[in-house]
Amino acid sequence: MKFLRIILTFVFLTVIKASAQTPAPTVPSFSFRKLDKKEFTSKDLETGKLLFFVFFDTQCDHCQRTIQYISQHYSQFSKTAIYLITLDSAEKIKPFINKYGVSLKDKKNVTILQDAQNEFIRK
């Protein structure tokens, strides 16, 4: 019985490892817009920092909880370049950030981006 558990555990871990995504070796090129309408491309990404991309929808419950968690635990992310990316309009983004990401507002390492060309999911 113990041997069977060990085998099943090994098989389970092997299947999980095989199905996990591997990180991309490079960030694909992209062109987004900041809330001030200025273009932001892959060339504008910070160097020498961990890059954390969060794709969110202002109406998504999971996204709301995620942004709220990041906001409440901002100190754990302070050395990371955070890119919050959405398809939503600025009129929806601002109230969303004010409600769920208030600690992220005006942080130097947090950039809010609009994906007007729907590039993020494809790439």
Question: Each residue's pLDDT tens digit in the chain (123 positions)?
Answer: 444 344 444 444 444 444 445 666 778 889 999 999 999 999 999 988 889 999 999 999 999 999 999 999 999 988 899 999 999 999 999 999 999 999 999 899 999 999 988 888 777
Element (H, E) at 54: strand 50-55
Question: What's the predicted TM-score (pTM) here?
Answer: 0.78
Sign, Cα dihedral of 50, 95, 122, 34 = negative
The token duo for 28 is 């694909």
